[in-house]
Amino acid sequence: MPYSTRRAALRATLRDRDLDALLVTNLLNVRYLTGFTGSNGALLVSADSDTSTVFCTDGRYTTQSAHQVPDLERLIERPCDVALVKRAGRVRLGYESGHVTVEGLDALTGAADGAELRRAPGVVEELRLVKDDTEIEALRMACAAADRALAGLIEHGGLRAGRTEREIARDLENLMRDHGADGPSFESIVAAGPNSAVPHHRPTDAVVRPGDLVKLDFGALVGGYHSDMTRTLVVGRADDWQRELYDLVASAQTAGRAALVPGTALADVDAASRDVIDRAGHGEHFLHGLGHGVGLEIHEAPALSKAGAGTLLPGMAVTVEPGVYLAGKGGVRIEDTLVVRQGAPELLTLTTKELVVV
């Protein structure tokens, strides 16, 4: 596993920022740097070497941490952040200010024995922007579990008139587990008929009816990594307006995927899809950004939106998910998870994007 490589990259960043060490308290960042999956842990990363880096957890995780973090000095104490600050000594110590409360900072300040505490927001998150091979493989597996689950749902008649949104969502999530997922990435969205016009509709006891658009937004969780995919289907027979709306969103999604070129401004990727919808007169019905990063979080940087800052880098894992929502009538969203590559992006969600009528 590439944890030592990730910590080496972090040490280089710390030296660039004139920090002697970084206190990592965000549990996802701790997992990214060590592989630890428990509910309490922190990491003191030295800018010098791994031999000076210390991992801390409490007694509940003595055995687990010995297995998951065998390559670092371990401290079994509580609270971990305070214990590590005391351990740091007289150094320029960065802390994850975006994840520390006011009371938490007071505790760190009180524990500092000559350490100079410095705000260091987003240092680890910057490293997480570009996925390594291990992360991308986990994302592939998560996307494959979601693809197979949807295929099974359709094949076995689970998506049909007369079933409720909740029933379909439950079956979809169970199928993802059957196909290797640890669980769903998030609460699955199943939205039928007029509910499909609500971008983040939560499944209800609404019954799917013949002629309904059914929007499915779901993902699988594998090894801590999240997939994200949306497909919109029609039950029974598709009306002309539904096909026209679907074709429009499909064209916008194709344009957004084509814009995933290293060096492209994030806002320009959003614009590539949004312009297609704007020209069709539905700009006001595209109610959210084009996409977001995925990884250890279902929504993480970068943000593909009008306000997105920065540019695409090879190895970023992102979604492209334009949608058009006609309130009271129905909506369509098509979403893929992709990895930015030189030449063309790698598509991880492989379910067809042709309009499926079931």
Q: Using one digit for the tens of pLDDT, what is the confidence trace for 301-323? A: 999 999 999 999 999 999 999 99
What fold is seen in the domain 133-347? Creatine Amidinohydrolase (3.90.230)
For 128-186, the three-class secondary structure string (H helix, E strand, C coil) is HCCCCHHHHHHHHHHHHHHHHHHHHHHHCCCCCCCCEHHHHHHHHHHHHHHCCCCEECC
Describe the crossing of helices 102-111 and 80-88 by its angle, rounded to 10 degrees: 40
Superfamily of domain 3-128: Creatinase/prolidase N-terminal domain (3.40.350.10)
pLDDT at 1 over 90: no
Mean pLDDT of the chain: 97
Q: What is the mean pLDDT of residues 79-101?
A: 95
Of all residues in the chain, the percent with pLDDT exceeding 70 is 100
Domain boundaries, the chain: 3-128, 133-347
Check whether 332 has a pLDDT greater than 80. yes
- Stated pTM of the model: 0.96
Give me the mean pLDDT over the 318-343 stretch: 98
Mean pLDDT, range 65-90, rounded to an integer: 96
Q: Which residue has the tokens 């009271």?
A: 328
Q: What confidence category does residue 183 fall into, taking pLDDT thresholds of 50, 70 and 90?
A: very high
pLDDT for residue 113: 85
At 335, the pLDDT band (50, 70, 90 cuts) reads very high
Task: Provide φ and ψ at 116, rounded to 5°.
Answer: -95, 105
Burial-class residue 155 by CB neighbours within 10 Å (0-12, 13-18, 19+): exposed
In this prediction, residue 71 has a pLDDT band, given cuts at 50, 70 and 90, of very high
pLDDT of residue 161: 98
Mean pLDDT to the nearest integer, 185-209 = 98
Answer positive or negative: Cα dihedral of 252, 299, 266, 147.
negative
Mean pLDDT over residues 178-201, rounded?
Answer: 98
**Nearest Cα residue to 293 out of 123, 119, 135:** 135
**pLDDT at residue 338 in the model:** 98
